[in-house]
């Protein structure tokens, strides 16, 4: 079995050190402008070496997230950042941008790259492409199926990293454009505004169908399924939360450390108790325990009632009485309420009424808890614990220690000789001081043990073996020896760890010059995207244009029928491949493409590159083309033409740009009708006229795509209309 890894998030030093002290095997963090959590600013090029050294001292790996899309003009700064991290001995880099992967391999030989979940790798074909591009690990999309994880591991041998705990993006990985297109704040550039966490109203046929946090996903907790994931080939268990407090990080790491160790040792943990702890540190109500692992469309992905931390229910408000200028609140609780705890109060509908931090606590004669607050509470409110201060303080107080066997030898007329061993690392010390025979009281065993057990209280746990004659050693000499031994041992441990790392060779001169693609030309004038309902007679389409079918139902019969209709009037036609496709979906797509040999394909995910040897490939909008290096990389992999990202303008006149139509905002692998009506797939409530409205009365469209299961797309109701040398024109849903 491969070594299993608990991978923890870190946004500052407290969460970083707490993760290590609670048993993390690796920590991921971002620094600078190229990480997907732009608000996480603690780690810098100035402190990254110190940070890495601390982790390596404990045998913990550090992965740097450089997982945003990068412009050509930013590439030099990007490479400068990576060079500092390479010099700091970072263990690996998490990358989204195809162009960044390409330029890193060009400039840093042996650099270790992990394919970010933002790349949307979720099937065998995509994983094979990641391996071909030089990635040693894939952070799989959270929409991946369990049977597909098994296939990816068996057919690629790649390391597999998978999210097991924390907030769950409702949109398919890397293809959420909601913040970018609505507010010019790109989630792919680290500036997600979390518009999915806002309230929305649903309408079907212009009639109210429900409201609430209709896009807000439940938090993930795959604790009950760890053994299943291990058997499937997952090696690294990733915890979400680089912007969360140290108490959350520490508890999540602590719980998953226990769980993984129990599986390896064939013992067990109390899953209910541990899950309860995880809910306390952060949860939006009931956890999602299966993600998208099972075949078909999952249930209960969305929590429409609450979108903030809810914690765990502990009791109810019994009474509220006026007390001077405060309210005296009596609470019946199963939890021992303490000062500095956090409480939240919900009404009978499950809606949040208020929240507060606990000050002084009294116990009533009936054993209930009494708190005083200015908040206006009423009887019968449900009470939830959102901060268990004792629980979080305990995990923050945990300390991981390195066991040191220290041999101390001091003989008359000889220097002090010390050997310190920690695991496989050894350091030796010989003092300048020559030990003198004690004239009165010799230095005692106890005195030396007391000094050296404090070798470095935050790091080392020392067991001392003494060989001591009748000598006197000044305390200053002992403390000098302790200081030097502690520093030397620390450096030796770090150096021994880093000797085993791949030697990353940096090119003499970092090259970030944008690539001129001389072989790139626009084969077609414009590209039109159509579906089964598009009336092409309404548009002036020329013979030099390409018409690409993006059907709502991907079956051989439906695609062939609609391609034949296009072929009757137009000579250039192609097929758009869906952004999400599990292995069962790919069987369907393979069958369709086999019946349409040589048809041009617009690909929207890495898996589409599997057709490079048989079809003319156009990299679509969802490939997130942001720079010339991505174009070069994908050309090398067999792509002939490119549609540039809709998040950025380009001066390249040989690529296509989104020019007309409804903008895609995000893709779902869950069913919004299940959210509204609690139905099952057998009792399907689908209606093609579902729309959402936000509080500002902006309208959003939702469409369905069917393969082996249903997928859904959220669109802006606004129609984009702009000019470009070569246009991508989306005619779907315009009638």
Is 90 within the bounds of a domain? yes
For residues 566 and 628, membership in a common domain is answered with yes
| Residue 344 structural domain | 312-397
pLDDT tens for each residue of 307-358 = 999 999 999 999 999 998 999 999 999 999 999 999 999 999 999 999 999 9
For residues 234 and 127, membership in a common domain is answered with yes
Ramachandran class of 701: left when φ > 0, alpha when ψ lies in -120 to 50, beta otherwise: beta
User: Average pLDDT for residues 21-50, to the nearest whole number?
Assistant: 92
For residues 74 and 115, membership in a common domain is answered with yes
For residues 596 and 457, membership in a common domain is answered with no
For residues 256 and 343, membership in a common domain is answered with no
For residues 546 and 657, membership in a common domain is answered with yes
Average pLDDT, the chain: 95
Q: How many domains does the chain have?
A: 4
User: Average pLDDT for residues 501-529, to the nearest whole number?
Assistant: 89
**Pairing state between β 471-472 and 436-437:** antiparallel
Q: What pLDDT band is residue 518 in, cutting at 50, 70 and 90?
A: confident
The confidence score (pLDDT) of residue 425 equals 97
Q: What is the CATH number of the domain that holds 162?
A: 3.20.20.70
d(CA 76, CA 79) in angstroms, rounded, equals 5
For residues 475 and 555, membership in a common domain is answered with no
d(CA 610, CA 124) in angstroms, rounded, equals 10
If 0-12 CB within 10 Å is exposed, 13-18 middle and 19+ buried, where does residue 401 land? middle
Detail the DSSP E strand segments found in 341-380.
342-346, 352-357, 361-363, 369-373
**Please, where are the H alpha helices in 598-709?**
628-636, 672-677
Q: What pLDDT band is residue 125 in, cutting at 50, 70 and 90?
A: very high
pLDDT tens for each residue of 661-694 = 999 999 999 999 999 999 999 999 999 999 999 9
d(CA 612, CA 609) in angstroms, rounded, equals 5
Is 179 within the bounds of a domain? no
User: Average pLDDT for residues 30-44, to the nearest whole number?
Assistant: 87
Is 187 within the bounds of a domain? no
The first and second tokens of residue 571, run together, are 């000579």
Is 353 within the bounds of a domain? yes
More confident residue, 582 or 457: 582
User: Average pLDDT for residues 10-32, to the nearest whole number?
Assistant: 96
The end-to-end CA distance of the chain, in Å, is 56
For residues 258 and 338, membership in a common domain is answered with no
d(CA 384, CA 373) in angstroms, rounded, equals 16
Q: What pLDDT band is residue 454 in, cutting at 50, 70 and 90?
A: confident
For 107-128, give the DSSP string.
HEET--EEE-GGG---SHHHHH
Percent of the chain residues past pLDDT 70, beyond the cut: 100
> Is the predicted pLDDT of residue 735 greater than 70, yes or no?
no
Which residue from 40, 50, 42 is spatially nearest to 13, judged by alpha carbons? Answer: 42
Q: What pLDDT band is residue 462 in, cutting at 50, 70 and 90?
A: very high
User: Which has the minimum average pLDDT: 134-138, 196-200, 322-326, 485-489?
Assistant: 322-326
For residues 127 and 256, membership in a common domain is answered with yes
Is 735 within the bounds of a domain? no
Q: What pLDDT band is residue 519 in, cutting at 50, 70 and 90?
A: confident
The first and second tokens of residue 210, run together, are 């429900």
d(CA 450, CA 426) in angstroms, rounded, equals 21
Is 185 within the bounds of a domain? no
Detail the DSSP E strand segments found in 525-600.
527-530, 546-549, 573-576
The first and second tokens of residue 311, run together, are 């914690």
For residues 452 and 465, membership in a common domain is answered with yes
pLDDT tens for each residue of 218-239 = 999 999 999 999 999 999 999 9
For residues 705 and 592, membership in a common domain is answered with yes
Q: What is the pTM of this model?
A: 0.96
Element spanning 209, H or E: strand 207-212
Is 505 within the bounds of a domain? no
Is 117 within the bounds of a domain? yes
Residue 315 in 3-state DSSP? Answer: strand
The confidence score (pLDDT) of residue 335 equals 95
pLDDT tens for each residue of 387-409 = 999 999 999 999 999 999 999 99
User: Which of 235, 266, 281 marks a domain boundary?
Assistant: 281
Q: What pLDDT band is residue 1 in, cutting at 50, 70 and 90?
A: low
Q: What is the CATH number of the domain that holds 331?
A: 2.40.30
For residues 333 and 407, membership in a common domain is answered with no
The confidence score (pLDDT) of residue 516 equals 83
The sheet with strand 326-333 has its strands ordered as 352-357, 342-346, 382-387, 312-323, 326-333, 369-373, 361-363
The confidence score (pLDDT) of residue 458 equals 83
d(CA 343, CA 375) in angstroms, rounded, equals 12
């Amino acid at each position: 079995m491969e070594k299993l890894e608990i991978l923890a998030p870190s946004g500052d030093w407290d969460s970083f050190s707490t993760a290590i002290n609670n048993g993390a095997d690796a920590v991921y963090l971002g620094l600078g402008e190229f990480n997907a959590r732009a608000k996480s600013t603690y780690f810098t090029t100035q402190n990254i070496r110190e940070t890495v050294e601390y982790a390596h001292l404990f045998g913990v790996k550090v992965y740097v997230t450089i997982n945003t899309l990068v412009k050509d003009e930013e590439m030099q700064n990007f490479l400068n950042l990576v060079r500092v991290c390479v010099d700091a001995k970072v263990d690996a880099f998490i990358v989204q941008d195809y162009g960044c992967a390409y330029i890193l391999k060009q400039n840093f030989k042996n650099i270790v790259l992990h394919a970010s979940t933002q790349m949307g790798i979720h099937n065998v074909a995509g994983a094979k492409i990641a391996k071909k591009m030089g990635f040693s690990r894939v952070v799989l999309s959270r929409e991946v199926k369990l049977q597909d994880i098994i296939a990816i591991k068996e057919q690629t041998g790649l390391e597999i990293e998978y999210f097991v705990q924390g907030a769950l993006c409702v949109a398919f990985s890397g293809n959420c454009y909601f913040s970018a297109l609505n507010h010019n704040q790109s989630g792919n550039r680290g500036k997600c505004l979390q518009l999915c966490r806002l309230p929305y109203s649903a309408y079907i046929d212009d009639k109210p169908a429900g409201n609430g946090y209709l896009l807000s996903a439940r938090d993930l907790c795959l604790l009950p399924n760890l053994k299943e994931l291990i058997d499937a080939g997952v090696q690294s268990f990733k915890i979400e939360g680089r912007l969360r407090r140290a108490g959350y990080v520490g508890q999540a790491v602590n719980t998953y450390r226990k769980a993984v160790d129990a599986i390896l040792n064939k013992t067990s943990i109390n899953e209910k108790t541990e899950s309860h702890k995880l809910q306390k540190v952060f949860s939006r109500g009931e956890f999602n325990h299966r993600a998208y692992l099972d075949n078909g469309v999952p249930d209960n992905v969305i929590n429409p009632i609450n979108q903030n931390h809810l914690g765990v229910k502990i009791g109810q408000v019994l009474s509220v009485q006026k007390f001077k200028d405060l309210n005296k609140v009596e609470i019946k609780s199963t939890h021992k309420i303490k000062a500095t705890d956090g409480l939240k109060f919900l009404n009978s509908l499950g809606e949040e009424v208020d929240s507060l931090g606990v000050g002084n606590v009294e116990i009533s004669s009936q054993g209930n808890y009494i708190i005083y607050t200015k908040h206006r509470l009423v009887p019968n409110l449900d009470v939830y614990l959102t901060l268990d201060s004792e629980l979080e303080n305990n995990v923050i107080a945990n300390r991981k220690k390195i066991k040191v066997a220290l041999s101390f030898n001091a003989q008359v007329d000889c220097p002090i000789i010390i050997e310190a061993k920690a695991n496989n690392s050894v350091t030796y010390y010989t003092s300048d001081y020559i030990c003198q025979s004690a004239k009165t009281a010799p230095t005692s065993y106890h005195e030396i043990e007391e000094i050296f057990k404090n070798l470095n209280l935050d790091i080392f746990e020392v067991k001392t073996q003494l060989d001591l004659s009748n000598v006197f050693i000044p305390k200053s000499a002992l403390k000098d020896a302790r200081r030097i031994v502690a520093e030397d041992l620390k450096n030796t441990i770090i150096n021994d760890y880093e000797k085993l790392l791949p030697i990353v060779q940096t090119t003499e001169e970092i090259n970030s010059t944008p690539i001129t693609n001389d072989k790139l030309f626009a084969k077609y004038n414009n590209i039109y995207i159509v579906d089964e309902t598009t009336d092409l007679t309404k548009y002036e389409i020329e013979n030099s244009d390409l018409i690409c079918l993006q059907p709502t139902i991907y079956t051989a019969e439906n695609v062939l029928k609609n391609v034949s209709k296009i072929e009757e009037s137009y000579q250039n036609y192609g097929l758009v491949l869906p952004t999400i496709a599990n292995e069962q979906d790919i069987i369907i797509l393979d069958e369709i493409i086999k019946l349409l040999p040589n048809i041009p394909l617009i690909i929207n995910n890495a898996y589409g590159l599997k057709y490079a040897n048989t079809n003319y490939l156009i990299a679509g909008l969802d490939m997130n083309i942001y720079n010339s290096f991505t174009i070069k990389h994908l050309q090398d992999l067999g792509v002939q033409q490119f549609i540039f990202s809709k998040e950025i303008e380009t001066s390249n006149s040989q690529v296509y740009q989104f020019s007309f139509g409804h903008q895609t905002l995000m893709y779902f692998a869950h069913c919004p009708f299940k959210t509204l009506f609690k139905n099952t797939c057998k009792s399907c409530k689908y209606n093609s006229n579902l729309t959402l409205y936000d509080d500002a009365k902006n309208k959003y469209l939702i469409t369905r795509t069917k393969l082996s299961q249903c997928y859904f797309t959220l669109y802006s109701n606004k129609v984009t209309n702009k000019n470009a040398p070569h246009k991508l024109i989306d005619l779907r849903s315009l009638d």
